Amino acid sequence: MQNQPYSIISVLGPIGILSAAALSVALAIKSNKTKELRAKVDNLQKTLEEMDEQAKLLVSTDMELNNLQEELDKKITGLYSLQKLSRTISTTLEEDQIFTRVEPALLEDLGFEKSMAFLWNEKDKKFVPRLDIGYAEDETGPIASFVDLNKNAFLDIIKTSRTLSSISLSQDSVTKEKICNAFKVNSFIVAPILPKEGNKGFFFVGTENAETPLTEGDEELITILANQIGQALENARLFETTWRAHQELENKVKERTRELTLALEEVKNISKRKTDFVSSVSHELRTPLTSVKGYASILLASKLWVLPDEVRARLEKINKHTDELVQFVNDLLDISRIESGKVTMKQEAQDLTRITAEVSDLLGVLLKEKKIGLSCNIADDAKSVFVDYNQIKRVFINIINNALKFTPPGGKITIKSYKAGEQAQIDISDTGCGIPEEAQSKIFEEFYRVDNPINQEVKGTGLGLTLVKNIIEAHKGKIWVKSKVGTGSTFSFTLPQP
């Protein structure tokens, strides 16, 4: 036993062994916990890595969605701005106002803060600036000079109807660089303005923003906008031409109206002078005529001496012609009085049957002599008229006398009255020789006599129907005739009713 080597027990003793055992157990437990913790950390790390991968996916999807959203927003904004600009531009018909209606805010919505427009002046052979947005006053001069210096390049845009832009030109293009430098932009679009008539030009838009690249969609929008400007210019010019023509026409109408007014005044003056003259002459004629007729009557009465038959015959002719002349003068006087308004119609409610009966009675002998029948047909509602009794009686006498004159024996005269609107219409028809069509419009003129065999035989003044017309018109009525040669005539006139 003494030779036995030192055992662990002998070295550590029992407490030591127990402690060592406890320590090894603790170490084992800790090692397990560490393993567990490490596993958890690894898991956490893995989860984080997975989260990061998910984050990448999320960002990628989000980016795509944002791109789509931005594209859509840009398109909607572009279309909205374009529609608004087009509407604003097209609501004016003044060429100068078209360019002032291009609102900077709307252009900014399209992505451009700078804009200019030039129209070619054929007379001066140069481009004239019509619009500038986003430039200081001292900046536009050098740009205009640049355009003038390179006018052929800009004229080419008009000739080829081609939109030019910083994306259609190659990256290292000299033109692109020149335009960018001159207009102080990073990207630009130049679209032709092409109205059908008049000066053409170009529309420039640009931006200094280098971060938002232009797209073909931008090019399309600006081309459409330039077209709209062209269309608006065309409309404005068309309107200008039409307006000018209208103005000229209006001026001509005014001038003609003025001339006609003057002519009418002149006619009125002449007519008045004529009426005054006729009135004056008639007065002067009537006095000696009265004397002539008086002396002729005395002689014819044979109070002084017995007249030889030849003398009597001559005197009777004098007497008859004097009567005719007196009638003529009286008619003339009446016409001139009515025309000058010296005679006022004494209008009262009258019974038309009374007037026609009296006229029929007055002309009864003549009707009988020529065997001409006279019939009256007066409607109840057209019986009462508001007229000057004596003047209207003259109208009836004149018209029926005429009918008698031109109606062959055995013929017929008809008086018909009926209500026409608010007035009474009277038609006096005969079965006479009728009036040729070309004479119908003239028969109411003074001294006009229809050229027919009866008129050549029967004497007349040509004043009867003029007088009739004047009397009817003085009653605010109208008179007209319908006639057919060989069949007869109808004189119609209207009279007011009470």
Judged by CB under 8 A, the stretch of 100-108, 218-226, 259-267, 339-347 that binds other proteins is 100-108
CA distance 218 to 261: 63
Q: Is the dihedral of CA 67, 72, 73, 79 positive or negative?
A: positive
Q: Give me the least distance between CB of 218 and other proteins, in Å please.
A: 16
Q: Give me the least distance between CB of 238 and other proteins, in Å please.
A: 32
Give the 3-state secondary structure of residue 136: coil
Going from the C-alpha of 489 to that of each of 27, 237, 414, 432, 457, the distances in angstroms are 149, 60, 11, 7, 20
Give the footprint of other proteins on residues 5-34 (CB under 8 A).
none
Give the 3-state secondary structure of residue 206: strand
Using rule CB under 8 A, residue 294 touches other proteins: no
Using rule CB under 8 A, residue 276 touches other proteins: no
Q: Give me the least distance between CB of 147 and other proteins, in Å please.
A: 21
Residues in contact with other proteins, total (CB under 8 A)? 23
Using rule CB under 8 A, residue 487 touches other proteins: no
Nearer to other proteins, 104 or 373 (CB): 104
Cβ atoms 98, 112 nearer than 8 A:
no
Nearer to other proteins, 77 or 360 (CB): 77
Nearer to other proteins, 70 or 177 (CB): 70
Using rule CB under 8 A, residue 75 touches other proteins: no
* Structural element, H or E, at residue 235: helix 216-300
Which residue type does 438 have? E
Figure out which of the listed residues 210, 304, 306, 365 binds other proteins, where binding follows CB under 8 A.
210
Binding mask of the shown chain, residues 32 to 71, with x at each position contacting other proteins by CB under 8 A: ----------------xx-xx--xx-xxx-xx--x---x-
Going from the C-alpha of 27 to that of each of 9, 17, 32, 34, the distances in angstroms are 21, 15, 8, 10
Using rule CB under 8 A, residue 290 touches other proteins: no
* Structural element, H or E, at residue 350: strand 348-351
For 420-484, the DSSP string reads ETTEEEEEEEE-SS---HHHHTTTTSTT----SHHHHHS---S-HHHHHHHHHHHTT--EEEEEE
Question: Residue 102 gets which letter from DSSP?
Answer: -
Nearer to other proteins, 51 or 458 (CB): 51
Q: Give me the least distance between CB of 212 and other proteins, in Å please.
A: 8
Cβ atoms 398, 465 nearer than 8 A:
yes
Using rule CB under 8 A, residue 437 touches other proteins: no
Nearer to other proteins, 106 or 372 (CB): 106
Nearer to other proteins, 105 or 301 (CB): 105
Question: Residue 341 gets which letter from DSSP?
Answer: T
Figure out which of the listed residues 211, 310, 380, 451 binds other proteins, where binding follows CB under 8 A.
211
Q: Give me the residues that bind other proteins (CB under 8 A), please.
A: 48-49, 51-52, 55-56, 58-60, 62-63, 66, 70, 73, 77, 104-105, 108, 113, 208-211
